[in-house]
Structure 1
Amino acid sequence: MAYSFESNERASFKALDYVLFGLTLTFSALIGIFYAIKDRKRQNTKEFLLAGRDMNPIPVSLSLVASFMSAISLLGTPAEMYNYSTMYWYIGLSYLLVIAAAAHVFVPVFYRLRCTSAYEYLEYRFSRGVRTAGSLTFCIQMILYMAVVMYAPSVALNAVTGFPLWWSIIAVGIVCTFYTSLGGMKAVLWTDTFQVLVMFGSLSAVAIKGMDEVGGLKNAWSHFDISGRVVWDDFSFDPKVRHTVWALVVGGWFMWIAIYGVNQASVQRACSCSSLKEAQIAMWINFPGMCLILYISCFIGIAMYSLYRTCDPIKFGLVAASDQLLPLFVMDVLGKVEGVPGLFVASLFSGTLSTISSGMNSIALCILQDIIRTYWIKNMTEERATTWSKVLGRTFSVGDDRGAATWRLRARNVLSMVQHRGLIVSLVFMFWIGIGAYITEVRNTIPKAPVVLSGCNWNLTTTAATATVSAINMSTTATPYITTDIITTINSVNVTTTVAEHDGGIFFPLYSLSYMWYSATAVAVVVGVGLIVSFITGANKPSEVDPNLQIPLFDILFPYLPEVILKPLRCGVVYDEVKRGDGNRRHTAADLKNSDKDNFLNIEMAEQKSDAKQTSHITETSPMV
């Protein structure tokens, strides 16, 4: 069987491929049914939304991997390798720093406060209005993101494999809504665990078979190196450069800490563990999982380039966009083995399922806790709250995202534990940059690595008359290009990358800001505006600040420093009153803000009564007692 660029034909799905995809959805649904039956007598929000706060760290960690390594990541990382260079590998270093900060800086604060919604913190620290603003911002962002996660991979697969677009969207949406609303957080966690194993298995199969098809890793790496894609030394401080070491490590830290540090889906999983120590273990187990998916995907991208090094599928017209490269590669190298493409599709939609189920569950919790229980029904019973959670989970299922933005808002409340007044300014500022970049089409001026067309079968296309060896590069000079079987010259095309040549006006430097710096820029605006406004309106006295709501950063980073050095670094905040590590909440003055004492205590008492009722029922009915 010839490759697609040799025959101009693409392999199609077989019956077994559809069966494997269907089995993946079926098994996910069965997990939801199992936990709905198993926990039918334990109907309360702590059980449904937080898995009873007694989950093992291993499924929690695997759920974190599955939730944030979406189908977009699985499609995008190999395409990144193909189109650009090895610089993206540095993002793995940011993962290490992110997990360290999330596990030891952010998670302890949320766990100590026994937060159900991450945005409860904003009310304790600032006001109810700030809590609502933060929660609604998260919900809107997550709804848009879920739409893109659902629609984008479906379009890519449909274009390459003929996999039915709307049938896949409808099937995934129904199954995801079913097991999330039926089985709650436990179903989500265990389904994510199953799905991430499917992702690991299929990605590994694609990487191994792909490398074997191009003659092994050494051969593939040689092709990659000769093409100029092996780049490790871009240490530029220019924030307009797309990927530098600083952008990927520092900018990547700000981008990912917004996900693992304060994102509701992440906080919700951490708080489902039985102790702070286990929550931290879950975070750290998650780290190698993230790196495995990242680097397996990178190696797939290297193999993908080696296969298509003499015939770029995009310029040849086999596919229309970069996100279709991986499905094409899978069909080329694995399409002859019936069932394996179906396994790949199952893994791709496993990433989609896990991301959407996590989003639905976290949005339901935020709407329930931050809106309904805060403003509408303050004394809601646990049974009624659980019903609301299930209804909300079904409401926010996603089917069509044609109106969804293709870029993501990066303004997050990462440093909300420091300042909050710059939130609106930051949101507006980042909207401005994102829309400006889209309108001026700055991203289209980013140079890609060279590609050639000399190996394409032009006799089978209608564009044979235009058969030339061409490439996209930054310069206008001829660049020598060598492969193992040909020596040719690439006539490069100037893609206009300088600011002076672009009609972007005086704001073009902002529009050309690397996307890796979006979150860091948003944080800088939040903190800058917040500090200015705080000092104008009157700053708080550190000694009066509740230590439960602050982070003893230097105590965490430098625990062995003497007290004489650490004390001034605490800026007057008395952290001795904080009970670290035990996970028990202290009822401080922050709990009483905005006359919310009764509401808070009613929720706490309702959970305690529900737990006591369950314990009594088990004691009365268990044959072992």
Structure 2
Amino acid sequence: MQDTCFSSYRTYHGMARGKEVQDSTMDRLGFSLVDYAVFAAMLGVSVAIGLFQSLRKTPGPSSVDNFFTGGRGFSAVPVGLSLCASFMSAVQVLGVPSEAYLYGFKFLYMCLGQSLNSLITAVFFVPVFYRLKITSSSQYLGLRFGRGMQLLGSLQFIVATLLYTGIVIFAPAVIMNQATGLNMWASLFSSGIICTFYTTVGGMKAVIWTDVFQIVVMLFGFIAIYIQGTVLAGGPARVLEIAYNGSRINFNDFGIDPQQRYSFWSFTVGGTMVWLSMYGANQAQVQRYISCRTERQAQLALLVNQVGLCLIVSSAATCGIVMFALYSTCDPLTAGKISAPDQYMPYMVLDIFRNHPGFPGLFLACAYSGTLSTVSTSINAMAAVTMEDVMKPWLIAASQRKQLLLSKSLSLFYGLGCITMAALSSLLDWGVLQGSFTVMGVVNGPLLGAFVLGMFVPATNKLGVFSGVAVGFCLSLWLAIGSTIYPPTPQVMGVLPTSDSQCLAINSTLNGTAALVQSPSINEDYGQFGLQSIYSISYLYFGALSTSTVMLVGVAVSYITGPTKKDSIGPGLLWWNLEEKKCDASCQNLKEETTVSILPCKKTHEPSSSTLSLTLSLTQINTLLNYVSSLYSHFDQVHDHRSSKN
């Protein structure tokens, strides 16, 4: 039985991603008009939200900052749900159930890694970005290490986001084509164009409120699938019994072998670092933190995000276990009814809802909701990075109207770029979940290391961080390429056995392909070079390895070439130095009444010509100090009033 599972898994890696499913059973499963109507309604609502936000009047004049941050006036709940939806794309909707099906319920440990990530981000990263009042996360690198590092960070983010978004758009388009007959290129271009449209016209407000709608659609889709699948399998007790007998209830997997694809340690160590690279310093998420009305709301948004992440991951993994209970004796991949593990979920939905029109359409809406959310987030973030880090210095004399028009043009440009990358993604032979996490680990992992060095290691200098990022990126890229050319065997990864013992027929063409792919020559080739153990490392560790390498190399080079003196680092750039920036909000309120620089917020008592842009009389200074004192008293009263209410 185990050989059957491994041969089918090899078959998947040996087949072209665009290959049509040849089994007649899949041909009988398809969408009805009701299903397409449900799917179209979801797309229509997404477009309507974008139009509404573009036509809705907001306080104050339209500006680039409002376009990218929504006016910095959001509360925790919508931002938290948007944070959650941003990376809960069709990659997770389709990938997590199939991974749980093949590797077991231990996939729930991913929630632990996500929780650690949310805690670290809320405590260490959000305060820095929020109090600096920046729009682009790469602006921090510019303040800490200079313009060159800022541009490098922006470039790395754009490359990673384009690659990731290409996978997000292309993978579900191919899967839906193979599972439902929906034209692949039509679905690819329609999803890309719709995202580009509502992001371009509505900006961050459209992205956040559309994300809220789409996360609700995703949850309802999973709930419907779980209920129907559990009923057909014989109830929750029967599902657990079958899963236990099939070794899918495997929470006691604490093995430390880094070659094992999933274990407690790969999820908590590797998984935490992958998610931290996506949340800690990723522009797409930082843009949401700073769109909150207060720092406290930004931190609460991460808590809301964590609840949403756990709900979606646990729902998706549970659906994977229900799927195993339904197909424990007739695996669709082994039987030739599907051609790739990522098609498990679409096949199951079409199978269990064949007599319930509308529900398959809800699943398609669920998958594409995740795609639309991720793509819209990526487009808006790339436009913000390009505008703030690259073009802003050249647009000092340009009006807000011209800058806003350019920002929207950038959104349109990157939308078309994402569609192009989706077409090029067909060249990759990764599963959707592995592909997306590998891209984030390889490119964003080194970038995370640069932010950690900047915020927590004062001695780090420019040469040190450049050297660390270069070495870390080369290491992770080498591992990713090596694992793609010489993939680990299913035995090494820990794929659990499946069975086709009660299938009525097995596709003969598929079996013929499997026989060809099972040739052991590939394994023998890379075993000769002694690199098998290195290339077989779980993809979840790529980000952790690259981030650690950046930190080690960066610190070593900095101390060898001359560490940065702590006094030369600007206020607010080190995590423990945030107290100096706390009063910036109060100083912002004074901008309209005086042109005093915000630098007097530092703990100094003797103003100088470098800290005052005007020469103030003693009376004016006394008035200013009284105003600041009354302002702090007012804040304390408001805080006490809110505390008494709570």
Pairs within 5 Å for 1:185-224: 185-224=204-243
Structure 2 match to 1:18: 36
Query: How many angstroms does 1:171 deviate by?
Result: 1.5
Stretch deviating more after TM superposition (279-288 or 414-423): 414-423
Q: Could you list the per-position Cα deviations for residues 568-617 of structure 1 after superposition, in whole angstroms to 9, with x for gaps in the alignment?
A: xxxxxx6653428969789569xxxxxxxxxxx9xxxxxxxxxxxxxxxx
Say yes or no: does 1:399 pair with 2:423.
no
* Distance change (3 Å), C-alpha of 1:533 and 1:220: same
Q: Could you list the per-position Cα deviations for residues 349-373 of structure 1 after superposition, in whole angstroms to 9, with x for gaps in the alignment?
A: 0000000000000000001111111
Pairs within 5 Å for 1:563-582: 577-579=580-582
Give the AA of the match of 1:303: V
Report SS of the residue matched to 2:531.
helix
Contact 2:25 2:337 in 1 (8 A): no
Q: Could you list the per-position Cα deviations for residues 223-274 of structure 1 after superposition, in whole angstroms to 9, with x for gaps in the alignment?
A: 1111122212222222222222111111111110111111101100010011
Structure 2 match to 1:473: none
Contact 1:211 1:217 in 2 (8 A): yes
In 2, Cα distance between equivalents of 1:89 and 1:201: 19
Query: How many angstroms does 1:381 deviate by?
Result: 2.4
Pairs within 5 Å for 1:119-198: 119-198=138-217
Give the AA of the match of 1:193: V
Structure 2 match to 1:441: 487
Structure 2 match to 1:505: 529
In 2, Cα distance between equivalents of 1:321 and 1:105: 40
Structure 2 match to 1:456: 503
* Distance change (3 Å), C-alpha of 1:128 and 1:18: same
* Distance change (3 Å), C-alpha of 1:104 and 1:379: farther
Structure 2 match to 1:519: 543
Contact 2:101 2:320 in 1 (8 A): yes
Structure 2 match to 1:542: 566
* Distance change (3 Å), C-alpha of 1:501 and 1:284: same
Structure 1 match to 2:319: 300
Structure 2 match to 1:70: 89
Stretch deviating more after TM superposition (236-245 or 274-283): 236-245
Query: How many angstroms does 1:16 deviate by?
Result: 1.0
Structure 2 match to 1:343: 362
Q: Could you list the per-position Cα deviations for residues 303-350 of structure 1 after superposition, in whole angstroms to 9, with x for gaps in the alignment?
A: 100111111111111000011000000001112111111111011100
Stretch deviating more after TM superposition (575-584 or 224-233): 575-584
Q: Could you list the per-position Cα deviations for residues 382-428 of structure 1 after superposition, in whole angstroms to 9, with x for gaps in the alignment?
A: 21111111001011113242323443331342232415231111111
In 1, Cα distance between equivalents of 2:510 and 2:117: 50
In 1, Cα distance between equivalents of 2:382 and 2:493: 35
Contact 2:82 2:208 in 1 (8 A): yes
Give the AA of the match of 1:432: W
Structure 2 match to 1:360: 379
Say yes or no: does 1:332 pair with 2:351.
yes
* Distance change (3 Å), C-alpha of 1:545 and 1:240: same
Query: How many angstroms does 1:430 deviate by?
Result: 1.1
Q: 1:528 aligns with which of 536, 546, 552?
A: 552
Structure 1 match to 2:609: none
Report SS of the residue matched to 1:503.
helix
Q: Could you list the per-position Cα deviations for residues 24-58 of structure 1 after superposition, in whole angstroms to 9, with x for gaps in the alignment?
A: 11111111111111138842112111000001221
Structure with the largest fraction of helix: 2
Structure 2 match to 1:243: 262
Stretch deviating more after TM superposition (8-17 or 399-408): 399-408
Give the AA of the match of 1:414: L
In 1, Cα distance between equivalents of 2:142 and 2:380: 21
Q: 1:423 aligns with which of 469, 488, 491?
A: 469
In 2, Cα distance between equivalents of 1:465 and 1:298: 29
* Distance change (3 Å), C-alpha of 1:15 and 1:238: same
Give the AA of the match of 1:440: Y
Contact 2:161 2:378 in 1 (8 A): yes
In 1, Cα distance between equivalents of 2:55 and 2:318: 42
In 2, Cα distance between equivalents of 1:147 and 1:24: 22
* Distance change (3 Å), C-alpha of 1:454 and 1:529: same
In 2, Cα distance between equivalents of 1:183 and 1:97: 33
In 1, Cα distance between equivalents of 2:97 and 2:167: 19
Contact 1:417 1:549 in 2 (8 A): no
Identity %: 34
In 2, Cα distance between equivalents of 1:7 and 1:437: 34
Report SS of the residue matched to 2:410.
helix
Structure 2 match to 1:571: none
Pairs within 5 Å for 1:15-94: 15-39=33-57, 42-94=61-113
Contact 1:546 1:588 in 2 (8 A): no
In 2, Cα distance between equivalents of 1:116 and 1:347: 31
Report SS of the residue matched to 2:155.
helix
Stretch deviating more after TM superposition (29-38 or 500-509): 500-509
Q: Could you list the per-position Cα deviations for residues 508-532 of structure 1 after superposition, in whole angstroms to 9, with x for gaps in the alignment?
A: 3321111111111011110111011
Contact 2:104 2:321 in 1 (8 A): no
Report SS of the residue matched to 2:564.
coil
Q: Could you list the per-position Cα deviations for residues 269-308 of structure 1 after superposition, in whole angstroms to 9, with x for gaps in the alignment?
A: 0100111011111111111110000111111001100111
Report SS of the residue matched to 1:358.
helix
* Distance change (3 Å), C-alpha of 1:338 and 1:425: same
Structure 1 match to 2:292: 273
In 1, Cα distance between equivalents of 2:385 and 2:220: 34
In 1, Cα distance between equivalents of 2:26 and 2:471: 51
* Distance change (3 Å), C-alpha of 1:7 and 1:539: closer
Pairs within 5 Å for 1:1-16: 10-16=28-34
Structure 2 match to 1:389: 407
In 1, Cα distance between equivalents of 2:112 and 2:511: 47
Stretch deviating more after TM superposition (255-264 or 352-361): 255-264
In 1, Cα distance between equivalents of 2:205 and 2:488: 44
Q: Could you list the per-position Cα deviations for residues 188-244 of structure 1 after superposition, in whole angstroms to 9, with x for gaps in the alignment?
A: 111111111111111110111111110112111111111122212222222222222
In 2, Cα distance between equivalents of 1:210 and 1:201: 14
* Distance change (3 Å), C-alpha of 1:378 and 1:151: same
Query: How many angstroms does 1:495 deviate by?
Result: 8.9
Where in structure 2 are there 5+ consecutive unaligned residues? 1-21, 454-459, 589-596, 601-612, 614-646
Query: How many angstroms does 1:500 deviate by?
Result: 8.9
In 1, Cα distance between equivalents of 2:288 and 2:578: 26
Q: Could you list the per-position Cα deviations for residues 462-498 of structure 1 after superposition, in whole angstroms to 9, with x for gaps in the alignment?
A: 57999xxx9xxxxxxxxxxxxxxxxxxxxxx99999x
Structure 1 match to 2:448: 414
* Distance change (3 Å), C-alpha of 1:310 and 1:45: same
Structure 2 match to 1:619: none
In 2, Cα distance between equivalents of 1:451 and 1:56: 47
TM-score scaled by length of structure 2: 0.79
Query: How many angstroms does 1:439 deviate by?
Result: 1.2
* Distance change (3 Å), C-alpha of 1:8 and 1:381: closer
In 1, Cα distance between equivalents of 2:74 and 2:104: 40
* Distance change (3 Å), C-alpha of 1:118 and 1:235: same
Give the AA of the match of 2:66: E
Q: Could you list the per-position Cα deviations for residues 517-572 of structure 1 after superposition, in whole angstroms to 9, with x for gaps in the alignment?
A: 111101111011101110111012334433511123xxxxxxxxxxxxxxxxxxxx
- Equivalent pairs counted in the alignment come to 541
Report SS of the residue matched to 1:506.
coil
TM-score scaled by length of structure 1: 0.81
* Distance change (3 Å), C-alpha of 1:43 and 1:502: same
* Distance change (3 Å), C-alpha of 1:353 and 1:52: same
